[in-house]
Amino acid sequence: MKNRWEDKSAKETINKYSFVHEDIALRVYTSRLIGSESSLVLHGGGNTSVKTRVKNKFSEEIDVLYVKGSGWDLDTLEPQGLPGVRLSQLLKLRDLDFLSDEDMVNEQRINLLDASSPNPSVETLLHAFLPHKFIDHSHADAILVIANQIFSEKICKEIYKEKIAIVPYIMPGFELAKSAAEIFEQNTNVEGLLLINHGLFTFGGTAKESYDRHIEIVTMAEEYIADKKAKPLTKKKFSDYEHKKNEMFRTLSPILRGLYQKKSGKSWIINLRESVIAEEFASSQEVVTWSQIGTATPDHVIRTKQKPLLLDLKEWSNTHHLKREVSSSLEKYCKDYHTYFITNKKSKGVDKQELDQLPRVLLVNGLGLITISKSVKEANIAADIYEHTIDIIQKSFVLGDYSPLNSADLFDMEYWSLEQAKLGKSKEPPLHGKVTYISGAGSGIGLATAKLFAEQGSNLFLVDISQKKLDIATEEISKKFNIGIASKKINVEDEQGVKDSFEEMLNCFGGLDILISNAGNAVEGKIGQVDTNILRKSFELNFFAHQILSSLAVKIFLNQESGGVLLFNASKAAFNPGKDFGPYAIPKAAVVALAKQYALDYGEFGIRSNAINADRIRTGLFSDEVIDKRAKARGLSSKNYFKSNLLQQEVYDTDVAKGFLNLALAEKTTGSIITIDGGNISASPR
Ligand code: ZN
């Protein structure tokens, strides 16, 4: 493993963080070096600390431990992610015989220098009880290969001699901290501690010394493993090797999404990890046993659960059979999980609430690694973790065996309140986990709706004819909201283009919940005189595009079997056509009929279909010239045109967006057209 320390960068970091002590700046620097290496730590894994002296408000010098705060990742650590805790108070705790987790967290919090700091890491006491100035902790892949062997100790001696000490597995917290300190004190010359089934701690007098030792110890493990000969995996039989992987995924994912929704009442995101190694592992005979042993480090259990679900599916082409197969495999997994929960709860005599039983990682023969989580971010985290787990498992069997933490100990970790707290239990917005497809999303009503739906937690797939507008929209929304967002430039009149966009959407999110069929264009002409081709062309965009989009959406909804929402942007022209505006009004009237027809034909499947009847929204659809014309047609000045409604207020695209949101959330409303036009009695549906 490459040692990434550079004197120049270290100095730059000290200058950048000149507002904090140099020790803290260097602590940030090497924490980031460790965090940037995915084979050392992943997503919030690992922690680091530094001990230093600061003056308190009374100008008294006190010893302070700065340790990584909960909720911070090492690769993006900032000084405020290192809460400072009074060291003398932490050291006093070592004299206690017992300290509960709750008391430990409390002691750490009441001794913070800054009351607004995040919670110090659950491994804070281990950092405190060791005497070194700098301490680095990772869950390095190569270390886990060695730490998860039955003969770990023997292998460690062979590689490291007296360089590191071994700490048998104890769950993080007070007891582990005490035991690690005692083991260190038996041989204070060691440069680090290898924690069985867990990871590596190194320490030193400077940031560089502790980091150098960390990289060196990991590299020694890597070299030891590389010397052993790898065994090739045995390929399982797969009936359809000529298959198209993405097509399989797109058939499978809506079915999975529907089953998960049914079991949990929540919406899920499904991700296929493009990885040859994962596909080979999922399609091997070894996967049957190797994948079911346990997580590489206990921390991972909250992201991946203890075991992945294995799928070896016979039928791909017949959705009905596929559904049955997937459903019964999932049922079995959930039943086994329940048994694991009940057995451990009883034997430990603890009072715990069962978490959801659904697997987060799926290994599918012929397809590869699929992860399922409540958000795109979490699905990616689970996939990153499992990709590394595959590597660790395979290398473990090269050395000997893979013997990670047993299921009873893993239960303690999974149901540990301090571990669950890492997932954050903040209230989810109403569209959390949903997927919304919006046409004409680059500007006006489409864009306003995209922003509002993102604010409400929905993931977005945006389409528009302008790539530039999509790029701007995507950048703006993803900066502001923590959701999954993808986009594609298409012309909604092009049926193949629309189909391609739906495929891409499924590849990104695995399903769909809400379609906002919004794209349209105002076309003028006197009916009876206007060229039929103009009328036909308007129908292509203002009617058929809506129909193509909704038919594809409904197909996914039916496979998910968990309802679905169609929302159309119909114009008030559907009810109150403007003079010489027939080519726009007539297809829009057909869209209202279309919305009702979908409501009628698919209501029994829980699919809702509604439309919005908006009017006089200042968007790109209406150029100044068109506005002048439309105003004239209504006998109004251009200035008054937008306010000439019952409420005498201009209606904005954001008002229409709110209308779409209300309809998306109105669970008992279908076949309805709501009016968002400030009040126009002659256009109100009757
Ligand atoms: Zn750890």
Residue 550 CA to ligand 1 center (angstroms) comes to 49
Our measurement of the distance from residue 381's CA atom to the centroid of its chain's CA atoms, rounded to an integer in Å, reads 7
State which H helix or E strand residue 363 sits in: strand 361-364
Residue 166 CA to ligand 1 center (angstroms) comes to 15
Residue 229 CA to ligand 1 center (angstroms) comes to 29
Residue 639 CA to ligand 1 center (angstroms) comes to 65
Our measurement of the distance from residue 402's CA atom to the centroid of its chain's CA atoms, rounded to an integer in Å, reads 29
**73 pLDDT higher than 60:** yes
**Residue 645 and residue 671 in contact, taking contact as beta carbons nearer than 8 Å:** no
Confidence of residue 424 (pLDDT cuts 50, 70, 90): low
pLDDT tens digits, one per residue of 318-360? 889 999 999 999 999 999 999 999 999 999 999 889 999 999 9
Residue 197 CA to ligand 1 center (angstroms) comes to 10
Query: What is the DSSP-derived secondary structure letter of residue 298?
Result: G
User: What's the whole-number average pLDDT of the chain?
Assistant: 93
Residue with token string 């200035």: 639
**289 pLDDT higher than 70:** yes
Residue 254: per-residue pLDDT? 96
Task: For residues 127-131, give the mean pLDDT.
Answer: 97
Instruction: At 303, list the tokens.
Output: 């992201």
Residue 143 CA to ligand 1 center (angstroms) comes to 12
* Cβ within 8 Å of residue 647, ≥6 positions away: 678, 679
Q: How far is residue 313's CA from residue 362's CA, in Å, rounded to a whole number?
A: 12
Residue 134 CA to ligand 1 center (angstroms) comes to 16
Residue 45 CA to ligand 1 center (angstroms) comes to 7
Classify 203 as helix, strand or coil: strand
Residue 285: per-residue pLDDT? 94
**Residue 397 and residue 291 in contact, taking contact as beta carbons nearer than 8 Å:** no
Classify 98 as helix, strand or coil: coil
Task: For residues 370-397, give the mean pLDDT.
Answer: 96
Q: How far is residue 292's CA from residue 583's CA, in Å, rounded to a whole number?
A: 62
489 or 572: whose pLDDT is higher?
A: 489
Residue 122 CA to ligand 1 center (angstroms) comes to 9
State which H helix or E strand residue 461 sits in: strand 459-464
Residue with token string 């549906």: 685
pLDDT tens digits, one per residue of 143-166? 999 999 999 999 999 999 999 999
**Residue 364 and residue 316 in contact, taking contact as beta carbons nearer than 8 Å:** no
Residue 381 CA to ligand 1 center (angstroms) comes to 17
Q: How far is residue 265's CA from residue 591's CA, in Å, rounded to a whole number?
A: 32
Residue 125: per-residue pLDDT? 97
* Cβ within 8 Å of residue 508, ≥6 positions away: 376, 461, 484, 486
Residue 139 CA to ligand 1 center (angstroms) comes to 6
Instruction: At 244, list the tokens.
Output: 């198209």
Classify 391 as helix, strand or coil: helix
Residues of 58-96 as b/e, b for ≥16 C-beta within 10 angstroms? eeeebebbbbbbbebbbbebeeebbbbbbbebbeebeee
Residue 123 CA to ligand 1 center (angstroms) comes to 7
State which H helix or E strand residue 409 sits in: helix 407-414
| Alpha carbon separation from 383 to 325, 482, 548 (Å, rounded) | 24, 18, 34
Residue 130: per-residue pLDDT? 97
Q: How far is residue 269's CA from residue 210's CA, in Å, rounded to a whole number?
A: 40
Residue 115: per-residue pLDDT? 92
Task: For residues 291-301, give the mean pLDDT.
Answer: 93
**Residue 651 and residue 614 in contact, taking contact as beta carbons nearer than 8 Å:** yes
Task: For residues 87-95, give the mean pLDDT.
Answer: 96
* Cβ within 8 Å of residue 102, ≥6 positions away: none
Residue 241: per-residue pLDDT? 47
| Alpha carbon separation from 453 to 101, 462, 512 (Å, rounded) | 40, 12, 14
Confidence of residue 422 (pLDDT cuts 50, 70, 90): low
Residue 114 CA to ligand 1 center (angstroms) comes to 25
Strands 361-364 and 368-373: antiparallel
In sequence order, the β-bridge partners of residue 464 are: 489
Residue 486: per-residue pLDDT? 97
Q: How far is residue 446's CA from residue 389's CA, in Å, rounded to a whole number?
A: 42
Residue 147 CA to ligand 1 center (angstroms) comes to 12
Classify 521 as helix, strand or coil: coil
Residue 157 CA to ligand 1 center (angstroms) comes to 22
Residue 335 CA to ligand 1 center (angstroms) comes to 30
Residue 578: per-residue pLDDT? 86
Q: What's the residue count for the chain?
A: 686
**617 pLDDT higher than 90:** no
307 or 418: whose pLDDT is higher?
A: 307
Residue 432 CA to ligand 1 center (angstroms) comes to 30
Confidence of residue 634 (pLDDT cuts 50, 70, 90): confident
Residue 182 CA to ligand 1 center (angstroms) comes to 18
**Residue 306 and residue 336 in contact, taking contact as beta carbons nearer than 8 Å:** no
Confidence of residue 231 (pLDDT cuts 50, 70, 90): confident
Task: For residues 535-546, give the mean pLDDT.
Answer: 96
| Alpha carbon separation from 134 to 13, 67, 164, 211, 255 (Å, rounded) | 17, 10, 16, 9, 50
Residue 297 CA to ligand 1 center (angstroms) comes to 8
Q: How far is residue 670's CA from residue 278's CA, in Å, rounded to a whole number?
A: 43
The one-letter amino acid code at 568 reads: F
**Residue 492 and residue 439 in contact, taking contact as beta carbons nearer than 8 Å:** yes
Residue 586 CA to ligand 1 center (angstroms) comes to 65
Residue 300 CA to ligand 1 center (angstroms) comes to 10
Residue 337 CA to ligand 1 center (angstroms) comes to 25
Residue 46 CA to ligand 1 center (angstroms) comes to 5
